[in-house]
Structure 1
Amino acid sequence: MSDFASQPLPPRLTPSPQPSLEEPDPNRPPTPPLRKSIFPHPHKPTWHVNVTPYSPAWPAQFNAIHTHLHKLFTSSSPPAPYLTIEHIGSTSIPGLAAKPNIDVLVTFASKAHLASAVEALNWEIPSDPPFAKYTQIPRGGGIPGRESYKIYLPKFSPYYASTPERSVYLIADIAENREGQVQIRCYRTVRDVLRRAENGDLLEEYGEVKMRLGKEVFGNGLEYSARKDEIVRKVLARGGWTGEEVDEKEKLSRREWVVDAEEAY
């Protein structure tokens, strides 16, 4: 990992970072080849989801992203105080197959703090083509109370060249944001249930479902998620969710926007 992430970030009042397309520093340790998580078929309206076996590198990749987001949110002007920066999704669960995409949950104590974080990320990531292709997803991906970023920018800067694709979810963990709190609880329940040794049966079943789906094709990326509903229901039930609570979560998830593939993936 480059020492780029250890350098202090400038305050937001300075000009936004610009693309840096020069050759990488030859003294930097080599970076493993980046792998995308979802690929469009070049000639057909179908999608292939790149599901891979668990990689021991994923926790370290999350740690690098955590360090970067912490510095971005605390050193920008004004700062964006957060409650937690958490590794969620399948890459956070040892032994589970996953798309090579690091999912990150950032929670905030107020909508104002969330808005500051959105401003900080919008300052740092590019807003013009061709780099804007993987940035903020419209309307939080369709989930009320959530702001979503899908970021894959290997040619934008040395930092992004040395870190993988990621999805960053920003949510205000407050009573007024009921939809956001449902999402937070779901992210944490799935992760925590599947990390526990006594739930190895669910971990194995979930991995088998994901690897099987990785061999299929879909009309869009959201179809992949829908095909996991049955196993996710089992995981949430094991985590103490009632049937009504799972129904509420699924209803919320089905509101996700099917946005232009070039924009979202």
Structure 2
Amino acid sequence: MKRIIVSKYNPGWIRDFELLHDHIWPHISDVALSLEHVGSTSVPGLAAKPIIDLTIVAPNKETLKIIIKRLSSIGALHRGNLGIEGREAFTTLEGFPEHNLYACIAGCQALENHLAIRNALRANTSLATRYGKIKLELAQRYFDDIDSYVEGKSSFLLAILRDHGFTSDELEEIQENNRKKS
């Protein structure tokens, strides 16, 4: 089991995202809507696992198929949706900072979840500070137990999503998807 490491905020994470963006975007810019930096490394000042999360936003399923093919041509192999509808996962690109690469159909729940949390944490530094403290504490307590680490963050994140209009059914589905990812 890989050790869970949460680091204090590193401004270099922005450069890491830009490096990945500059490599990926030219291959998909004519078909994708955007390439988003999501996850904790996308929030200035927030403690995070030092892994860049990127999500390509596709307008529809047909375009998603094109993106999958183009990403494979640059070494990001398709891993499937890993049980989360509307989101496709890819292997990491060799020679780049550690990252998780996804592609989502615009409007899908997985994308809306990531954007809502990112935007809420970017807009509210005290919320981000509280979340960072939770993550640091959980990483110390559950340094070798990713399931407990993820579960420990869930109520905080679900409260953010509830405040942003996610329904009880959507929150339940998100919680189930988080269990699948861990």
**TM norm structure 1:** 0.62
Task: Output the CA distance in 2 between the equivalents of 1:71 and 1:104.
Answer: 15
Deviations 1:143-176 (A, max 9, x none): 12211124162xxxxxx2xx301111111226xx
In structure 2, what residue type is equivalent to 1:112? E
* Aligned equivalent of 2:102: 169
* Aligned equivalent of 2:62: 112
| Aligned with residue 116 of structure 2, among 152, 174, 189 | 189
In structure 1, what residue type is equivalent to 2:17? F
Task: Output the CA distance in 1 between the equivalents of 2:33 and 2:61.
Answer: 12
Distance apart, 1:107 and its partner CA: 1.0
Q: State whether residues 59 and 92 of structure 1, in contact with CA within 8 Å, keep that contact through their aligned partners in structure 2.
A: yes
Distance apart, 1:70 and its partner CA: 1.2
Task: Output the CA distance in 1 between the equivalents of 2:49 and 2:91.
Answer: 13
| Aligned with residue 157 of structure 2, among 228, 232, 257 | 232
Task: Output the CA distance in 2 between the equivalents of 1:192 and 1:123.
Answer: 32
- Runs of at least 5 residues in structure 2 that lack an aligned partner in the other structure: none
Structure showing the higher helix proportion among its residues: 2
* Aligned equivalent of 1:103: 53
1:117-196 equivalences in 2 (<5 Å): 117-125=67-75, 136-137=78-79, 139-151=80-92, 153=94, 160=95, 163-173=96-106, 181-196=108-123
Q: State whether residues 202 and 235 of structure 1, in contact with CA within 8 Å, keep that contact through their aligned partners in structure 2.
A: no
4+ long deviations beyond 6 Å = none
Residues paired across the two proteins, number: 181
User: Does 1:83 pair with 2:33?
Assistant: yes
Tell me how large the CA RMSD over aligned residues is.
2.2
Task: Output the CA distance in 1 between the equivalents of 2:131 and 2:169.
Answer: 22
Larger radius of gyration: 1
Q: State whether residues 82 and 106 of structure 1, in contact with CA within 8 Å, keep that contact through their aligned partners in structure 2.
A: yes
Q: State whether residues 82 and 113 of structure 1, in contact with CA within 8 Å, keep that contact through their aligned partners in structure 2.
A: yes
- CA separation of 1:145/1:240 partners in 2, compared to 1, >3 Å: closer, same or farther? closer
Task: Output the CA distance in 2 between the equivalents of 1:234 and 1:147.
Answer: 26
Task: Output the CA distance in 1 between the equivalents of 2:148 and 2:89.
Answer: 18
| Aligned with residue 132 of structure 2, among 194, 199, 207 | 207
Q: State whether residues 102 and 164 of structure 1, in contact with CA within 8 Å, keep that contact through their aligned partners in structure 2.
A: yes
* Aligned equivalent of 1:263: none
Distance apart, 1:248 and its partner CA: 3.0
User: Does 1:58 pair with 2:8?
Assistant: no
Task: Output the CA distance in 2 between the equivalents of 1:191 and 1:62.
Answer: 15
- Runs of at least 5 residues in structure 1 that lack an aligned partner in the other structure: 1-39, 41-46, 75-79, 127-134, 154-159, 175-180, 259-265
Deviations 1:9-59 (A, max 9, x none): xxxxxxxxxxxxxxxxxxxxxxxxxxxxxxx3xxxxxx4111101011111
Worse-superposed segment, 227-236 or 93-102: 227-236
